[in-house]
Structure 1
Amino acid sequence: MSDWVRERLHRDFAQALRVERMLYDSETAHQRLKVFENPTFGRVMTLDDVVQVTEADNFIYHEMLTHVPILAHGSARRVLIVGGGDGGMAREALRHAGIERVTMVEIDAGVVEFAKDYLPGISAGAFDDPRLELVIADGAEFMRRDGAAFDVIIVDSTDPVGPGEVLFTDSFYGHAKRRLAPDGILVTQNGVPFLQGAELTNTMRAFRSLFADAACYLATVPTYAGGPMAFGWGTDGPARETPLDVLRGRFEAAGIATDYYTPEVHQAAFALPGYVQKLLP
């Protein structure tokens, strides 16, 4: 299987993607970066052989982590992205004309430069948008500082191993809440519950101690194998109860064409199957 990249994220389950052509393979200061072409998924970026983003299915993950909180909020102006070095999250957030500033904090400058060179379609010009402020820094350290408040905070982290581990701690979530504006919303990626249940349980336990409204929602991303992916949701505001007709109106006014997100999917994503509900504390 020398022409395959095998992902070893889980102890007793693995997926593999065929490498049609290896385009890049190098160590950065923090992790090993690869990008290769696959006939089904297009260009694929991995960190330590764990799939981070693909050209073909990244729209699902990025649309659901941006449009759900932004449209639920209804008047978001400032967005913070922790991670997101490929630029896809910034791409989707900046599609909203009402967003005045997106601050993106990425620990690894190498990931950003790599994505610009090898995956330009993921960011689709987001790095050139004057509303984007790129900060190369540790996300946890950035969150501890005093600074501007944000209407939406998106934690686009890697899995809780290595550099991403600190972004799943109670302390980090507490600092993130402190950086939210009134009625602000914090959303996080929390892995695939069928295989990473403890990750979701631990985040939801922290969220329920911090927020009046702590929940999670789901989306199915093919290359994040093992079932639907969970996204954490925390706010002290009423955003999750936004009526469907209001979401439809906001979505239409935004003038955004999406391939996964719809107002109906938005609402339905919070309906959880039983095995996921059992993971919630």
Structure 2
Amino acid sequence: MIDKKIWHEKLHRHIGQYFLIDKMLYKEKNKYHDIKIFYNTVMGKIMTIDDIVQTTEKDEFIYHEMLTHVPIFSHGFIKDVLIIGGGDGGVLREICKHKNVNNITMVEIDMSIINLCKKYFPSHSNGAYDDSRLQLIIDDGLNFIKNTNKKFDLIISDCTDPVGSGKSLFFSDFYLNCQKNLKKNGIFVAQNGTSFFQKNEIISTYKNLTKYFHDTTFYQATIPTYYGGTMMFAWGSDNIELRLIDLKKLKSRIKKTKLIFNYYNPQIHISSFYLPQYIINTLDKS
């Protein structure tokens, strides 16, 4: 019999990871999600949704810095941002650091996620929900993007894995509507799972994004929490020059902001687009 104090992730059928629950802090199943929040000595507070790790106190900064700063510094002139998902507030926190951003629209399907993360993960948002530039909308991400008349310089899909309520944010219809609602030179990015164990998701995303964007690829970061190690981020834009920014220009843009990071830096930015050969081979065959 499995020790009740051990939590096992259920993302993969035949392989996975476990965490020792030192203290269960919250547990509830609502109409959208099965949510658990517990404390682990190594990773701090951990939130799981539908028995899949979403975020931890210990290494969240890697995920949120890479999902946010790579597109913002690649573009250089981001004014209007849309976040789809991201209820833990980490992406919002990082965007709010950029003073040149004028408007932030955030669409989250489940208000309880926001409230729970404010309570149990306050450093994730770090007061960002009080930023005057934020418009918070409680809605399904696909429904919003299909019906909005707003245009954005950057759309970030910070969604769960393609199960349950997050499944619709991996379909062709979602990517089509994101492309339609980007301004000229706009960028779309999204979390896309770990490369080694979720190749099928990478293939599916690549096929769908290439229908609507001239420049489609992935970039990566090593994040311990997500089983498989290397997290992939999808990238879509109609201007390939944004992704091919040179190191000198990138350093200049970052220096002007005077921002301090824990993971992201100019060299990490450039190198994150260099993919392992097995991923390149997979995409070439798709």
Task: Report the counterpart of residue 102 of structure 2 in structure 1.
Answer: 100
Within the candidate set 261, 266, 278, 1:263 is matched to 266
Amino acid at match of 1:277: I
Structure 1: distance between partners of 2:104 and 2:7 = 34
Percent of aligned pairs with the same amino acid? 43
Structure 1: distance between partners of 2:61 and 2:118 = 17
* 3-state SS, counterpart of residue 151 of structure 1: strand
User: In the TM superposition, what whole-angstrom CA distance separates every residue of 1:170-207 from its partner, at most 9, and x where no partner exists?
Assistant: 11100000010100000011101211101011111111
Within the candidate set 72, 77, 85, 2:79 is matched to 77
Structure 2: distance between partners of 1:144 and 1:264 = 36
Amino acid at match of 2:89: G
Task: Report the counterpart of residue 226 of structure 2 in structure 1.
Answer: 224
TM-score normalized by the length of structure 1: 0.98
Structure 2: distance between partners of 1:241 and 1:226 = 27
Structure 2: distance between partners of 1:5 and 1:116 = 23
Taking the TM superposition and a 5 Å limit, the aligned residue runs for 1:2-151 are 2-151=4-153
Within the candidate set 139, 161, 164, 1:162 is matched to 164
* 3-state SS, counterpart of residue 282 of structure 2: coil
Structure 1: distance between partners of 2:280 and 2:9 = 27
Amino acid at match of 2:228: G
* 3-state SS, counterpart of residue 239 of structure 1: helix
Within the candidate set 274, 279, 282, 1:279 is matched to 282
Within the candidate set 174, 185, 188, 2:187 is matched to 185
User: In the TM superposition, what whole-angstrom CA distance separates every residue of 1:5-50 from its partner, at most 9, and x where no partner exists?
Assistant: 1101101111011111111111222111111111111111111221
Tell me if structure 2 keeps the 8 A contact 1:28–1:110. no
Amino acid at match of 1:229: M
The structure 1 segments of at least 4 consecutive aligned residues displaced by more than 4 Å after TM superposition are none
| Displacement of 1:146 | 3.4
User: In the TM superposition, what whole-angstrom CA distance separates every residue of 1:118-173 from its partner, at most 9, and x where no partner exists?
Assistant: 11111111111111111100000001013111001000010001101000001110
Amino acid at match of 2:130: D
* 3-state SS, counterpart of residue 193 of structure 2: coil
Task: Report the counterpart of residue 253 of structure 1 in structure 2.
Answer: 256
Amino acid at match of 2:260: A
* 3-state SS, counterpart of residue 37 of structure 1: strand
| Displacement of 1:279 | 2.2
Structure 1: distance between partners of 2:210 and 2:219 = 15
Structure 2: distance between partners of 1:165 and 1:49 = 15
Flag structure 1 segments of 5+ consecutive residues without an equivalent: none
User: In the TM superposition, what whole-angstrom CA distance separates every residue of 1:59-111 from its partner, at most 9, and x where no partner exists?
Assistant: 01100000000000000001101000000010011111111111110001111
* 3-state SS, counterpart of residue 63 of structure 2: helix
TM-score normalized by the length of structure 2: 0.96
User: In the TM superposition, what whole-angstrom CA distance separates every residue of 1:191-239 from its partner, at most 9, and x where no partner exists?
Assistant: 0121110101111111112111111011111010113011110001221
Amino acid at match of 2:92: A
**Root-mean-square deviation (CA), in Å?**
0.9
* 3-state SS, counterpart of residue 210 of structure 1: coil
Task: Report the counterpart of residue 178 of structure 2 in structure 1.
Answer: 176
* 3-state SS, counterpart of residue 13 of structure 1: coil
Structure 1: distance between partners of 2:276 and 2:155 = 26
* 3-state SS, counterpart of residue 191 of structure 1: strand
| Displacement of 1:277 | 0.9
Number of residue equivalences: 281
Structure 1: distance between partners of 2:128 and 2:111 = 16
Flag structure 2 segments of 5+ consecutive residues without an equivalent: none
Structure 2: distance between partners of 1:56 and 1:109 = 24
